[in-house]
Structure 1
Amino acid sequence: MRLSRRLILKSAGALPLLAGGLPLLGLQARAQTAPAAVPPILFVHGNGDHAALWITTLWRMESNGVPRERMRAINFTDPLARTDDKVEQPNRSSTEDQRRELGEAVKELQRRTGAARIALVGNSRGGYSIRNYIRNGGGADVSHAVLCGVPNHGIYDWDDGINNEFNGRGPFLRGLNEGDSEATPGTAFLTLRSDGNDKYAQPDGRFVGKPGTPTGVTSDGPALKGATNLALGALDHREVAFHPRAFREIYKSIAGAEPSRIEIVPEAEVRLSGLVTGTPGGVVTNRPVSGATVEIYRVSPETGERIGGPVHSSQTGADGRWGPAQVEATWFLEIVLTSAGSPTTHFYRSPFPRSSEIAHLRAARPLGPADAGAGAVVLMSRPRGYFGLPRDVVLIDGKEPGDVKSGVPTDSVTILRLPAAELGRPVVTIFNTERIVARAWPASENRIAVAELTY
């Protein structure tokens, strides 16, 4: 049988996640030297997200010799799109807001590195701001544009909601897509998409609230005329940006060569810091929260119990920054975020193999009516992808979660509620090869535990 490139890419989607490898071996490894032609890279997150989603990609870039100081991940102030792009909404952004803020970040990275042109890599809505910036005067600044899971022809094509930026029939996307080429000449464009597993590139409207209604888009929606377009098998909407398979294509497109490694090379000393952000009026933002307390504990990988006292404690100022905290690349961590008006959130994390200044924190959602009567609430969260059943192994407290839908991966959070009699006990969460043990904290004290997956 002849193996086509499409078949190879499709099969690759089933590969297990590659994390840091064996920590002790990784500590002896050395990051490679990147090709001299690699330009500075600016990573652009999607709707409602923040820069921290790019942590693993940045680590892989560093492990291939790309200097940390030549990369940046933008944090849009108001990451959520407006319902109508032309009508202001509190703590939401227009396409023009995003274009302007991205342009400022481009100029800052150029100034910092002295480079005339940089590469832009975006996931989902982040690709809109990239295309908008390049098409409307910024093309001379951008050598490469990698668009990952970007709904370039909309998530639907309807007369309803015509001014929503995600409407393929609306003026925003029509403007970006007009002409013989949808990729602005002078910049090398690559699009990465799923082969049918992207919930925002589906022919049926069930993922946008209208089941049974044709959306007018297909799984090929993220592809662009005039670009290099690749389908990465069964990867989902976020994985086409953050999965190791996506990293290979991102790196190869920008560097002009294959990466020397996919695994993350651990550092001997790991320093973490980040931004605490809030949800004013229930809207997720990247606006800083002052007066928040961040404590970090080393915990047992088997029980989630704390090993000694806090290894770090700090309070945010007006800029919302916490840290830096020094940890080891093999430590499992509990990060406790306490901020006014939000639940005290106990984040349980796999080891951080490398340093990061974008270990951003946002408190868990408020306890609601569905949590009434629960002694403890434990969330299992996957920010860099969705849970796919039966594609993935997904277990919380020894069971496959009942609130994760099968088929096209749609859910990135699953919830476990425990009776008061089970307070304080460990809760094992497993996603494929990543395993995190959280502890059940009392909901009566307005506390939530979150097992936050890294991969």
Structure 2
Amino acid sequence: MKLSRRTILQGASALPFAVASLRTPALGQTTPAVPAAAEVPPILFVHGNGAYGALWMTTLWRMESNGVARERMLAINFTDPNARDADSVEQPNRSSTEDQRRELAAAIAGLKRRTGASRVALVGSSRGGYAIRNVIKNGGAGDVSHAVLCGTPNHGVWASDDVLGSEFNGRGPFLRGLNEGESEVTPGPAFLTLRSDGMDKYAQADGRFIGKPGVPTNVTAEGPELKGATNLVLGTLDHQEVAFHPRAFREIYKFIAGREPDRIAITPESSVKLSGLVMGTPGGVPTNRPVEGATVEVFRVDPASGERQGGAVHGSKTAADGRWGPAQVDPTWSLEFVLTSPTAPTTHIYRSPFPRSSDVVHLRAARPLGPPDAGAGAVLILSRPRGYFGLPRDIVLFDGKEPADVKPGVPTDTAATLRLPATDVGRNVVAEFNEERIVARAWPAAENRIAIAELTY
């Protein structure tokens, strides 16, 4: 069954958990044989444009809950995750397709050495799928057993003679090179694509989602599919959710393991250790370059009020590698992370309880306060890293109201901003997304502080 965009916008009940539509592979790709438990290959997760490995946290937890050893998984952090405007022209703190191919090839080699496996499975979100296809096509096919591409714009975000140098142009040299030939997949690895049924902002016929309203993109919702791959449609999931949603996890696991997962829900641990990296944003460009000299404090907070319950349960200062932690916490605790880093606002990050340990709790400071924040007593951000806010698909409430800066229809927004007067500094602010609820505190903007309510799901 397919769900149409009209169905979702009418508020139908069959929402993100809709049954996927299986599209017949164009060239009859053979389904991989079902491996025994011990034969499931190591898995390397590849993030998308501007992102980092932390986005795979819930996927790693679900894999662990199904018996996949944490040591047999890796979530890469590309040094400079943002693409260049023109792939062949150097740009500070941005990467070319060749940069990403080279870093991914090194990560594959490292995971093979660590596990002793002859081949690994690759799972990529959005631009991460480009790096996967590039490394496989250019000498890496023998190292890869499975390639899962989630929301990857395999035929471009647009396809025209405009800005041909961009890797996201379906008519540009990069994608033409990947897609040439009768089959669009490289022989050897088994390929799976996961896409949305009309709710992916980067697979739209109209250019309004990329800042060109009314201009045809020459791309459709089928853009992420590949001739020769197994192509699945995951209903009305958005561009991020087709990688990080529980529905996507089921298909990723089933394709790699050759069987249904034993469980979709995350199995909690009795004791949790958290650690990660502090990463920089020079000039406002997100990177995964480590930040030295940043301080990370972790507080247990009251889930009803956001108020701290005692002193810091962890405090550390990063060295040259940018690593913080580990922090020992209880899986039922709501948490506040306070990140103080050079030349950036002090950032108070409020999180729901962590059910399992993780070493990919990566932190970036909030964006600098700017002219739109002038006069605000406090600035708070509601952030959903693993998906977009969809109205009316989702319940999204920030301080009791739907955020004015979240647009309805095709989900396009991962963050909403709330600005409060000085009289509201210090009070609690409730953020709700469907069934996840986070209570943050309004910190004074005059002290160069920003609060983020960061959703896990």
- Name the TM-score class by shorter chain: over 0.9
Question: In structure 1, how many angstroms separate the alpha carbons of the residues matched to 2:369 and 2:401?
Answer: 23
Deviation readout 1:317-350 (Å, 9 max, x if unpaired): 0000000000010000000000010000000000
SS at match of 1:81: coil
Indicate the residue corresponding to 1:172 in structure 2: 174
Indicate the residue corresponding to 2:352 in structure 1: 350
Deviation readout 1:230-256 (Å, 9 max, x if unpaired): 010000000000000000000000000
Question: In structure 2, how many angstroms separate the alpha carbons of the residues matched to 1:362 and 1:74?
Answer: 16
Picking from 379, 392, 410, the partner of 1:390 is: 392
Structure 2 residue 130 is matched with structure 1 residue 128: yes
Indicate the residue corresponding to 2:43 in structure 1: 41
Indicate the residue corresponding to 2:232 in structure 1: 230
1:7, distance to aligned residue in structure 2 (A): 6.0
Structure 2 residue 72 is matched with structure 1 residue 70: yes
Question: Is the 2:16–2:247 contact (alpha carbons within 8 Å) kept by the matching residues of 1?
Answer: no
Q: CA RMSD in A?
A: 1.4
Normalising by structure 2, report the TM-score: 0.93
Question: In structure 2, how many angstroms separate the alpha carbons of the residues matched to 1:304 and 1:7?
Answer: 38
> Which amino acid is 1:131 matched to?
R
Question: In structure 1, how many angstroms separate the alpha carbons of the residues matched to 2:365 and 2:156?
Answer: 31
1:22-171 aligned within 5 A: 35-171=37-173
1:355-366 aligned within 5 A: 355-366=357-368
Question: Is the 1:12–1:232 contact (alpha carbons within 8 Å) kept by the matching residues of 2?
Answer: no
1:183, distance to aligned residue in structure 2 (A): 1.1
Indicate the residue corresponding to 2:325 in structure 1: 323
Deviation readout 1:135-170 (Å, 9 max, x if unpaired): 010000000000000000000011111010000000
Picking from 260, 263, 267, the partner of 1:261 is: 263
Question: Is the 1:265–1:353 contact (alpha carbons within 8 Å) kept by the matching residues of 2?
Answer: yes
> Which amino acid is 2:406 matched to?
V
Indicate the residue corresponding to 1:439 in structure 2: 441
> Which amino acid is 1:323 matched to?
G
Question: In structure 1, how many angstroms separate the alpha carbons of the residues matched to 2:202 and 2:269?
Answer: 37
Cα 1:7–1:160 change in 2 (3 A) is closer
Structure 2 residue 250 is matched with structure 1 residue 248: yes
Question: Is the 1:438–1:449 contact (alpha carbons within 8 Å) kept by the matching residues of 2?
Answer: yes
Q: Which runs of 5+ in 2 are unaligned?
A: 19-35
Indicate the residue corresponding to 2:285 in structure 1: 283
SS at match of 2:98: helix
SS at match of 1:36: helix
1:386, distance to aligned residue in structure 2 (A): 0.2
Indicate the residue corresponding to 1:301 in structure 2: 303
Indicate the residue corresponding to 1:451 in structure 2: 453
SS at match of 2:37: coil
Question: Is the 1:301–1:437 contact (alpha carbons within 8 Å) kept by the matching residues of 2?
Answer: yes
Indicate the residue corresponding to 1:335 in structure 2: 337
Question: In structure 2, how many angstroms separate the alpha carbons of the residues matched to 1:317 and 1:7?
Answer: 49
Indicate the residue corresponding to 2:379 in structure 1: 377
Question: Is the 2:345–2:450 contact (alpha carbons within 8 Å) kept by the matching residues of 1?
Answer: yes
Question: Is the 1:12–1:233 contact (alpha carbons within 8 Å) kept by the matching residues of 2?
Answer: no
Question: Is the 1:13–1:245 contact (alpha carbons within 8 Å) kept by the matching residues of 2?
Answer: no
SS at match of 2:213: strand
Indicate the residue corresponding to 1:30 in structure 2: none
Deviation readout 1:204-232 (Å, 9 max, x if unpaired): 00011110000000000000000000010
1:290, distance to aligned residue in structure 2 (A): 0.3
Question: In structure 2, how many angstroms separate the alpha carbons of the residues matched to 1:324 and 1:13?
Answer: 38
Indicate the residue corresponding to 2:429 in structure 1: 427
Question: Is the 1:135–1:184 contact (alpha carbons within 8 Å) kept by the matching residues of 2?
Answer: yes
1:15, distance to aligned residue in structure 2 (A): 3.5
SS at match of 2:39: coil
Indicate the residue corresponding to 1:410 in structure 2: 412
Normalising by structure 1, report the TM-score: 0.94
1:282, distance to aligned residue in structure 2 (A): 1.8
Question: In structure 1, how many angstroms separate the alpha carbons of the residues matched to 2:264 and 2:135?
Answer: 30
Question: In structure 2, how many angstroms separate the alpha carbons of the residues matched to 1:7 and 1:413?
Answer: 26
> Which amino acid is 2:205 matched to?
P
> Which amino acid is 1:92 matched to?
R
> Which amino acid is 2:123 matched to?
V
SS at match of 1:186: coil
Question: In structure 2, how many angstroms separate the alpha carbons of the residues matched to 1:449 and 1:265?
Answer: 29
SS at match of 1:146: strand
Question: In structure 1, how many angstroms separate the alpha carbons of the residues matched to 2:55 and 2:401?
Answer: 27
Moved more, 146-155 or 279-288: 279-288
Question: Is the 1:384–1:454 contact (alpha carbons within 8 Å) kept by the matching residues of 2?
Answer: yes
Indicate the residue corresponding to 2:25 in structure 1: none
Indicate the residue corresponding to 2:27 in structure 1: none
1:35, distance to aligned residue in structure 2 (A): 2.1
> Which amino acid is 1:366 matched to?
P
1:13, distance to aligned residue in structure 2 (A): 4.1
